[in-house]
Amino acid sequence: MRRFFLPLLLLLLLFAILLTALDKFPSFWWDEGWTLNVARTLVERGYYAQWLNGQPAPPGQSAAFPAVFSVAFAFQMTGTGLWQARFVIVLYTLATFAILYALGTRLYNSRTAMFAVLATLIFFPHLEIHPLYLGHQVLAEMLMLFFLLLGYLFCFGALAARNWLWLGAIAFWALGLVSKAQPLPFWLGSLLAAAMFCALHHRWRQALGILVAMFATVMVVQGLSFAPELLLGQRALPSMPTPGLVQVSAFVTDLGVRARVLLILLVFGLPTLLGLTYAAWRWFETSSENFARRVTQLMLFAFAASWFAWYALLSVGSLRYLFPAAFVATIFLGALIDDAVWRFDWRTFARERKLNSRALAALGVAILGGLYLMMTWQQVSQITVSPSFAKETTAWLNANVSAQQLIESYEPEIFFGLKPRIHYPPDTLNVEVIRAREIDPSFVLTYDASAFHPDYIVVGRFGRLYHIYANVLEKGTYAAVETLGDYTIYRRQDVVQ
């Protein structure tokens, strides 16, 4: 029991940090708004849908159903609110840390596992990719990693001759793959690499088990994609792929974007690259008698390395796209810290002052850790908790806008609890925004809200940043009537309050 004392103490500390200002920091924002609106509609109206102009609409840019159903369950049990929704993700985040520790222990040792968890706190020097920051929001990354890593943990047990554990691996992998769209090709690559390795070593039982689990998981994913419709029938509106989204986010060959991504990797991806490089070197240099351990190490390496390569070569470069690969690779980074720093004889080095390859590796990793610790601390020290005014804006609209009037906005967080009719741009606008922001600054957005004759337009951070309503507001037919924090409320001139 003593060996679990430090991990449990660390988990309790992380739990306390994650609960701090849970409904205040960060401010309730765009990505969360879509998911919470679907969860609230599910609980209050019985529809798996957004609510558009008084009618159910496809979930659109909401997270997938595992996140929505988890949040809706919390709403059903404890009431509707931002705190309740974020608390669900806090639980998933803590569980993900625990699974990371369990994998590190089984693939290396308990000390490596502890270093891996600590690495997730130190080597992510930007809030956008820090697990405690992502775990403080209703986003799908931690949910996805929870299910996928749990699937790999079950896979490890199945490879070690407990065949019934394949059922758990299939179920959890499938849930992880439907939680977000990105991991599927990298997960497939990890299983194919492992199956080929097993076949080369004539481990036919393990190779067959991996291939059967892979095909079974894909089949379960296909079935789970219809889970909302199967559970709710016509009260579940299908999620439709957004035309053009893949081209502006996952297959970007623009040279300017590629150069920017390489700069991002030099700053934020270096620890991941070092961890992956060390894992590959150690995997080829050593041969473990535990075949299941060796295969699972290969699977996780293939998953993280292929994701990292995609981020470098084809992604649009959003930092959040790097996070899953970096998080998984902390297992290997933990092994590097254990081998290069912890096991290094610092007393002998201090006495003899002899610089060899072993000493250079220890000093390099230690200095790098210190630099990233300072960078991360600088980010954390600048955190300020400020009100978002989303709730106040919703309250103002509920008090001053009639149920028949139409509110237009691209700030979904203000729709949470909003009673009047609402209208928002189509999902394809997000594709245009990404193109204008990341690829072609000269690109002009085509959306024109005046075609829908809204009585009110609410412009918040997203609407202001990307000038979504500038083409309407510059005509002078709308006038600002209230400003609450980041939100400015405009009323059409001919509307009588």
User: pLDDT per residue over 151-174, tens digit each?
Assistant: 999 999 999 878 899 999 999 999
Distance from C-alpha of 340 to C-alpha of 277, rounded to nearest angstrom: 13
**C-alpha span between 23 and 245 (Å, rounded):** 30
Contacts for 20 with CB less than 8 Å, ≥ 6 apart:
none
What is the rounded distance in angstroms from the CA atom of residue 244 to the CA atom of residue 432? 9
- Residue 179 CA: distances (Å) to CA of 66, 94, 370: 6, 18, 35
On the question of pLDDT at 261 being above 80, the answer is yes
pLDDT exceeding 70 applies to what percent of the chain? 99
Q: What is the pLDDT of residue 367?
A: 92
Q: Are 269 and 308 in contact (CB under 8 A)?
A: yes
Contact 489, 480 (CB under 8 A): yes
Contacts of 319 (CB under 8 A, 6+ apart): 126, 128, 129, 264, 268
pLDDT value at 284 more than 90? no
Distance CA 491, CA 497 (A): 9
Residue 352 has a pLDDT of: 77
**pLDDT at position 103 over 80:** yes
Residue 5: per-residue pLDDT: 86
What confidence score (pLDDT) does residue 497 get? 66
- CA-nearest of 286, 329, 395, 340 to 123 is 329
Q: How far apart are the first and last CA of the chain?
A: 67
Predicted confidence band of residue 360 (pLDDT cuts 50, 70, 90): confident
Mean pLDDT of 394-419: 95
pLDDT value for 1: 62
Classify burial at 296, counting beta carbons within 10 Å of its beta carbon; exposed 0-12, middle 13-18, buried 19 or more.
Answer: buried
For residue 144, name the pLDDT band (cuts at 50, 70, 90). very high
More reliable by pLDDT, 405 or 286 = 405
Quick check: helix, strand or coil at residue 484? strand
pLDDT tops 80 at residue 321: yes
Mean pLDDT of 228-243: 91
* Integer Cα distance of 205 and 208 in angstroms: 5
Indicate if the pLDDT at residue 448 is higher than 90: yes
The residues spanned by each domain of the chain are: 2-381, 390-492
